[in-house]
Each structure stands twice: as C-alpha cells, then as structure tokens.
C-alpha cells in the first residue's frame, strides 16, 4: 500500500494519484523539470507555426506522453472510489460504462448503479473504455455531466489515452484504473 503524503489515505501499489485528495503519489527521486531555452522557437503541428494553439486544435493530445504498453496477460480493474470495490474488465476489448434504469433497452457493459450512480450524475451510457494494441483509451459518450481524467474534462466522442493509476470521474463518481 502507498500512503498519501497529503491526507495519509492508503492507496494500492501502482496508484499515481490519491483517491481522496487527488495528490500525486509517485516519487521523482529528486528529479525536477527544468526550463530549456531554445535558440529558435520550436513548433509542432498543432501550434500552426506561431507558438500558440490555434482554434480547433488539441493541445492535450499534442502534449501527451506516450503511455507504457499494457501486457496482454494483465487484468484491468475499475476501483470504485471511495468504497474501494473492484470491477474486473475481462473478455472484451471495449466496454461501455454507465448505469441501468427501468425500461432501458441498451445496457452498459459496466453497470455502476450499485454505487449510487444516478445520484452522482452518471449517464446510462456515459463512457467507453477500449484496450487496443496495449494502450487504454477512454471516450465520453456525450454524457450530461461530463467525463474527467485526473480532474481534466475530456471532450465528448474523442478517445483519450489513460493509464493504470489514473482517476476517471463520471459526473461525481470517481473510479481508478488498476492493473494486476
């Protein structure tokens, strides 16, 4: 178990953020990021050559770091916070996440109804989680209350990379991706 340096909450090994206060749990062993001065300004395709993001561009995607590949024999779990209950993700490469309601004809693969999902703003088909080529991606399915990765809202209908340890919020219900 990892103890959060901020609130002293216990988290499982491999967690990157505290599920209670959101503090970063990983240690950088004294390494710090230093500012690098360039002789000539560097640009990327999303900057339009001007050093600033242009309308319709995606700085989150451009600035993302390539995640580690998930081993094929690994089992992914969703850890519901703060209860700590684990939901295994097995048998498929793509899962819809949401809640059920009476008369609903299309059901999510992962039903969060037992975790007070309705009161916490989880839509019936809230998000999709996909494992492809060792990479895990999350997409908001046009939910009413939004989907967040580590407290950053993601736009609907676009996959975003996620990694084990990331905390996903569907409305006000938080879950953490874990790997075994």
Residues linked to residue 27 through DSSP beta bridges, in sequence order = none
pLDDT score at 5: 77
Higher pLDDT, 60 or 87: 87
Kindly compute the dihedral angle of the four CA atoms of residues 44, 34, 64, 135, in this order, to the nearest 10 degrees: 130
pTM above 0.85, yes or no: no
Would you say how long the chain is, in residues? 180
DSSP-derived secondary structure letter, 105: S
Name residue 137's beta-bridge partners: 130, 161
Q: CA nearest 146: which of 175, 179, 121?
A: 121
Fold assignment, 80-179: Tumour Suppressor Smad4 (2.60.200)
Neighbours of 138 (CB within 10 A): 22
| Residue 49, phi-psi category: left (phi > 0), alpha (psi -120 to 50), beta (remainder) | left
Rg of the chain in Å (alpha carbons): 18
Q: What six digits make up the tokens of 53?
A: 């993001």
Q: For 29-57, write each residue's pLDDT tens digit.
A: 443 334 444 444 444 343 344 444 444 54
């Amino acid at each position: 178990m990892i103890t959060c340096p901020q609130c002293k909450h216990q988290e499982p090994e491999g967690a990157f953020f505290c599920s209670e206060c959101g503090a970063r749990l990983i240690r950088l062993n004294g390494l710090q990021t230093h500012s690098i001065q360039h002789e000539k300004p560097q640009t990327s395709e999303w900057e339009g050559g001007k050093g600033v993001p242009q309308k319709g561009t995606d700085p989150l995607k451009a600035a993302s770091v390539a995640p580690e590949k998930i081993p094929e024999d690994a089992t992914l779990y969703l850890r519901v916070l703060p209860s700590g209950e684990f939901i295994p993700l097995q048998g498929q490469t793509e899962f819809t996440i949401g809640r059920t309601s009476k008369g609903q004809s299309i059901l999510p693969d992962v039903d969060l109804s037992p975790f007070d999902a309705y009161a916490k703003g989880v839509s019936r088909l809230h998000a999709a989680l996909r494992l492809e080529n060792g990479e895990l991606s999350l997409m908001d399915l046009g939910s009413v209350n939004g989907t967040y990765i580590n407290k950053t809202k993601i736009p609907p209908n676009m996959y975003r990379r996620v990694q084990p340890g990331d905390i996903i919020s569907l409305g006000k219900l938080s879950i953490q991706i874990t790997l075994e």
